[in-house]
Amino acid sequence: MNLLASIWEMSRCRLVEAREHDLPVVATILAENRAVFPLLGAERDPERLALSVLRHDKLPPNGHSAHEKSFLIRNKSDEELLGLLSVYRGYPTTETLYIGHIFMRPRWQRRGIGREVTGELERRAERAGYREIRVVVGLRNWPALRFWIALRYDRITQIVGDSEYREHTYADIELAKSI
């Protein structure tokens, strides 16, 4: 079993590795989730952000693009686009899998798809020998914080961002779960 196979399936959805020709659909997903743009950096244009995701431009320190994959999340029954998942293997340790982001299209949020995808990812990671999974969440992204904490990503490994709270400042929290 390949942890980051190009295609993997669950009961309701199929994940297919995203490629540069998927730029329009990745841009659509990002545009529908504009509220999280500050978490992705200074760029605000959905197409440029999508290209950055597909080219794996934002890697961890000493990271390599071969360790990261992005997947389109599609409805298994009709191939409707549901969301996007990016995963990086081996950061900060070789036994850690890092979820760079998971974006669900708004009409598919709160329907259990994200829970299904992360559950399958956890099962695959455990079988492949990983010991933990980490994710970074914006402190102002309350729905995402509730989502990850409900899934027991409740060990804080770091907090990064601005040191003072203001309307246009931000901070991220990195959460971990042992598997």
Class of domain 7-178: alpha beta
pTM given for the model: 0.90
Q: In angstroms, rounded to a whole number, what is the distance separating the alpha carbons of residues 84 and 93?
A: 24
What pLDDT is attached to residue 43?
57
Confidence of residue 42 (pLDDT cuts 50, 70, 90): low
The two tokens of residue 156 are: 């804080």
Partner residues linked to 85 by β-bridges: 71, 102
What pLDDT is attached to residue 35?
75
